[in-house]
A = this chain, B = another copy of it.
Amino acid sequence: MKHVLVTGAAGFIGRAVVPLLAAEGWRVSAISRRPPAAGQPAIDWHAVDLFDTTATADLVGRLRPSHLLHLAWNTEHGRFWQAPDNLRWMSASLSLLLAFAEAGGTRAVVAGTCAEYDWRHGFCQEDITPCMPHSLYGEAKLATGRLAARLLADSGTQLAWARVFFPYGPGEAGGRLIPSVIRAMAAGEAVRCSHGRQYRDFLHVQDVATAFAQLLRAPDQGVFNIASGTPVSLRQIVLTLARLAGWAGTPDFGAIAVPDDDPPLLVGDIRRLRALGWQPTLALDDGLADTLTHWRHHHPSRSL
């Protein structure tokens, strides 16, 4: 039986991917500093701090998983871009990957980020677009991916590095664009926006999960964008949410200034991932409707 060790299993993406892997027949183990009180079914929790590299290596040596899905990182909204602990996450991630390879692991799939690319280019393709991060987070992820590829090159352990674009959906941090628009509408507050002409690449977390599951199964190595490949303007996101929510207000486009270096378009090419047989399944309207439904269920006192 294939056995995957998942880090970040209690996080936004982890919560979507773990049940999927369990349903696909994987034995799933998870590392967490604080395993959730109500654990997910079919998952083995192990309380380890990834920054404790000795304890982590011991655990990996005991579990001897065939696969590793490494999602854990600092993702605290608004803080993670320049947080100094990005460097600790880099070290911890490389230690984890080495321990996994030494324990005979066959395949590791690791979450990178679209922030590794030079965003000035806008349309991000794995083999063509230059990498030039504009944040410590992007630099640390990029360095981790490059060092990991080199460290694992002759180890017999495969590596797929997944550059994740803009995941959204149930459970996304409340301060991010989509939840914050939903909250403002629900609270009867003004919805203040930038001009909204920026095109971004949003992918529902359920499709992010199937992409990671596909990358675990595939034999292919290298860098893969996890994205929708579909440019959507922020204006369209906000207007679609307003329509789906039956919100009668008018979003205040232009109320928030846009930085000079704000990229007008940021979209991932998904030909590499499509070539593995994956494709996104949730259209934007359906994904946003699902997000709204989840929000209403969890915040029934609000007015939406």
Contacts and interface: CB of A to CB of B under 8 A. Distances in A.
B229 A231 contact: no
A123 B122 contact: yes
A129 interface: yes
A229 B123 contact: no
Interface in A114-161: 120-123, 125, 128-129
Contacts of A265: 123, 231, 267, 269
B197 A229 contact: yes
Nearest to A270: B264
Given A197-B229, A264-B271, A267-B265, A125 B129 contact: no
Interface in A152-198: 197
Contacts of A129: 121
Secondary structure call for the A interface: loop
Contact of A199 (B125, B231, B233): B231
Contacts of A233: 230
5 smallest beta-carbon distances between A and B, as pairs:
A122-B123, A123-B123, A231-B231, A123-B265, A120-B128
A197 B265 CA distance: 17
Contacts of A120: 125, 128
Interface string A213-233: 000000000000000011101
Contacts of A229: 197, 264
Interface string A259-289: 0000011010101000000000000000000
